């Protein structure tokens, strides 16, 4: 509460500080406990937050130019945390040190977290959980390197503190750092591309360590999924930086600004950015699914995941709308955008995550493109960011800054008549995107508390049977006919672990004639996290659309010709035994002869109308077309 409630944190700080000082003086044997660590860090963070916000108010900062992103207060927090962590590790209080490192991961204090995980990993390398500590160390080291890319001069302060012997009884609240010297020498984003690629590889290694030590595909599922999404974001980030870097170089080389050459450059930049925008939009939906798939997640973790989804959606919007070629003259060859991409869908995704009470920013969003209010509001499920926390408010300030900046840039670009003007507005849009990206990177990145809750995931198993009594041991259908299936859905670890009272269960089945199995009767057992979760997000979105439409259609449905995806839906009545039965028809009449696998996704709707995804705990069945 100390560092989450901005209005009263200053007074709370003094109370907490008095309490910790009393403990230090009268009960020194308890000074190295995790609870003491937690109290001091809460007080320290709340105090610096107060000073930052009071300073911003005094200088007249507005939401359009938020400066809280540029404060190096985290360095002071790191120094404070590091002092206490050194005492814990020196006393070999590894359990307390581990809990302290967990707290640091929740507060973006990656230097201290890396220090502790390195000590714990070395102490328990040969133990049962040695791989867990190694994975945490790799991840924390990667996030620390990301942090130091933006504040490179901070490393000298942190290493200096690491090599200093400090008594815990010294004043831990006097840790300060100089703003100007910390920000000096920060690297340009355009020079970070290769380094971020290396960081991404290290974070992928953290996932590989968990995967290689998991006894099943679904063990450490939340942790591996979360790490995979982070790695995906960093890969997209490097691609966006590559586009910005290439444009910056090309902009310096252009000496003649003919309309045709400007249009070609605009089209090239637009195509590259829209591909990144589409990937970011998919990533936001994957974060939505991550939250929806863990109904037992605590509120704070849900807020963390929702904020990450919001930031991916925001960056998707910025990459899509930072370049506008609609008014560029001399473009005889308009840019062909990816078939799945549309500016409307990108705008819709961000619009539904926004506070509806903020009429100004909602109005600005609606003016970016001609989309009706009904179309903006009637879209897929998403997690809406809770605005009670300080970090969430800072993220929303960045959102308002980005929308206002892009809105002004697009207004200024109207009526462009020459290639020179078009090139100027293209360059301005790219500069805005670079500025927004920099501010987004400077926001803290935190692990949700649920990351450290290692438990079996909530989910379901779906058993499929051929409705034809003649096919007892296999599923097959003559060519040109639909496939009739009997379904048994069994949900696992839902009722005993959560207060969810299930009202209805739904399931989607999907298959495609373009992806037959290469070897009859066999399928890969290799669990590819990124591919699998991406498929889950697509099926989850289709299932939610089906539920919103009333959930009446059980018949098979064919998608657009370019996807060739065939889907079917089923509804189950929940029973106390944890099983439900249903049937469906899958229209595979156009499939050529061969073997195919059915993908599936399920969800439950509780008595309050809330929807929770159920992770598929077994593979879909294989059927043959004869």
Closest C-alpha to 207, from 287, 139, 279 = 139
Least confident of 73-82, 202-211, 294-303: 73-82
Residue the block writes with tokens 């002004």: 408
The Cβ of residue 473 has, within 10 Å, a number of other Cβ atoms equal to 5
Q: Are residues 31 and 24 in contact, defined by beta-carbon separation less than 8 angstroms?
A: yes
Span 229-255, average pLDDT: 83
List C-alpha distances in Å: 81 to 118, 158, 492. 15, 11, 40
Bridge partner residues of 507 (DSSP): 570, 602
- Indicate if the pLDDT at residue 61 is higher than 50: no
pLDDT given for residue 463 in this prediction: 94
pLDDT given for residue 523 in this prediction: 41
Closest C-alpha to 150, from 70, 268, 46, 253 = 70
Strands 557-558 and 594-597: unpaired
Measured in residues, the chain has a length of 626
pLDDT given for residue 2 in this prediction: 46
**Torsion angle (degrees, nearest 10) of CA 110, 111, 115, 118:** 50
Span 490-507, average pLDDT: 75
Query: Would the CA dihedral through 104, 612, 565, 469 be positive or negative?
Result: positive
The structural domains of the chain, with segments of one domain joined by +, span 1-187, 221-228+249-454, 459-625
Closest C-alpha to 350, from 396, 293, 304, 405 = 396
Contacts of 64 (CB under 8 A, 6+ apart): 400, 401, 404, 405
Closest C-alpha to 392, from 282, 474, 307 = 307
**Residue 215 has what DSSP assignment?**
S
* pLDDT tens per residue across span 311-353: 999 999 999 998 865 544 444 455 677 778 888 889 989 988 8
pLDDT given for residue 332 in this prediction: 47
- Indicate if the pLDDT at residue 301 is higher than 90: yes
d(CA 278, CA 289): 17
| pTM, 2 dp | 0.86
Name which CATH class applies to 459-625.
Answer: mainly beta
Q: Of 373 and 113, which is predicted with more confidence?
A: 113
List C-alpha distances in Å: 486 to 417, 476, 581, 590, 621. 63, 13, 8, 21, 12
Among 438-452, 515-529, 556-570, name the most confident range.
Answer: 438-452
Query: What is the pLDDT of the chain when averaged over all its residues?
Result: 79
Q: Are residues 508 and 601 in contact, defined by beta-carbon separation less than 8 angstroms?
A: yes
Least confident of 30-39, 339-348, 494-503, 544-553: 30-39
């Amino acid at each position: 509460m100390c560092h989450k409630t901005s209005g009263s944190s200053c007074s709370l700080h003094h109370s907490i500080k008095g309490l910790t000082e009393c403990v230090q003086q009268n009960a020194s044997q308890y000074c190295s406990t995790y609870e003491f660590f937690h109290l001091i860090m809460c007080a320290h963070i709340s105090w610096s937050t107060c000073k930052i916000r009071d300073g911003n108010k005094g200088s007249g900062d507005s939401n359009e130019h938020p400066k809280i992103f540029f404060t190096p207060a985290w360095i002071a927090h790191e120094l404070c945390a590091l002092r206490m962590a050194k005492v814990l590790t020196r006393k070999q209080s590894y359990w307390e040190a581990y809990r302290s490192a967990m707290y640091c991961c929740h507060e973006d204090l990656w230097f201290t977290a890396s220090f502790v995980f390195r000590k714990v990993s070395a102490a328990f390398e040969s133990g049962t959980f040695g791989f867990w500590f190694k994975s945490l160390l790799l991840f924390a080291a990667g996030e620390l390197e990301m942090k130091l890319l933006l504040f490179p001069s901070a490393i000298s302060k942190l290493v200096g503190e690491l090599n200093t012997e400090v008594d815990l009884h010294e004043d831990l609240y006097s840790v300060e750092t100089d703003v100007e010297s910390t920000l000096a020498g920060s690297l340009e984003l355009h020079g970070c591309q290769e380094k971020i690629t290396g960081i991404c590889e290290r974070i992928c290694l953290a996932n590989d360590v968990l995967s290689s030590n998991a006894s099943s595909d679904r063990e450490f599922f939340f942790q591996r999924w979360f790490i995979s999404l982070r790695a995906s974001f960093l890969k997209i980030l490097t691609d966006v930086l590559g586009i910005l870097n290439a444009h910056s170089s090309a902009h310096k080389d252009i000496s003649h600004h003919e309309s045709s050459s400007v249009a070609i450059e605009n089209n090239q930049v637009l195509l590259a950015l829209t591909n990144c925008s589409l990937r970011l939009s998919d990533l936001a939906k994957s974060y939505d699914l991550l939250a929806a798939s863990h109904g037992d997640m605590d509120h704070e973790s849900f807020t963390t995941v929702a904020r990450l989804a919001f930031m991916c959606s925001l960056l998707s919007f910025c990459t899509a709308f930072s370049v506008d070629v609609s008014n560029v003259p001399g473009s005889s060859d308009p840019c062909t955008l990816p078939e799945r991409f549309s500016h409307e869908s990108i705008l819709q995704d961000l619009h539904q995550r926004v506070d509806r009470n903020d009429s100004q920013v909602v109005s600005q969003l609606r003016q970016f493109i001609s989309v009706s209010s009904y179309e903006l509001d009637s879209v897929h499920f998403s997690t809406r960011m809770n605005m009670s926390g300080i970090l969430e408010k800072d993220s929303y300030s960045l959102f308002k800054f980005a929308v206002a900046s892009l809105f002004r840039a697009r207004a200024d670009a109207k009526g462009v008549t020459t290639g020179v003007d078009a090139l100027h507005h293209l360059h301005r849009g790219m500069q805005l995107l670079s500025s927004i990206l920099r501010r987004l990177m400077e926001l803290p990145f935190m692990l949700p508390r649920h990351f450290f809750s290692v438990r079996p995931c909530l989910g379901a198993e779906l058993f499929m049977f051929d409705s034809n009594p003649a096919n007892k041991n296999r599923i097959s259908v003559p060519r040109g006919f639909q496939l009739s299936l009997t379904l048994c859905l069994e949900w696992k670890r839902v009722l005993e672990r959560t207060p969810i009272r299930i009202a209805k269960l739904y399931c989607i089945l999907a298959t495609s004639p373009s992806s037959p199995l290469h070897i009859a009767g066999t399928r890969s057992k290799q669990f590819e996290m990124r591919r699998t979760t991406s498929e889950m997000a697509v099926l989850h979105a289709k299932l939610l659309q089906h539920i919103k439409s009333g959930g009446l259609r059980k018949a098979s449905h064919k998608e657009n010709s370019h996807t060739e995806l065939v889907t079917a839906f089923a509804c189950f009545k929940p029973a106390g035994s944890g099983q439900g039965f249903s049937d469906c028809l899958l229209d595979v009449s156009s499939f050529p002869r061969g073997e195919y696998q059915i993908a599936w996704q399920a969800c439950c709707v509780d008595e309050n109308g809330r929807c929770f995804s159920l992770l598929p705990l077994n593979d879909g069945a294989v059927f043959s077309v004869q």
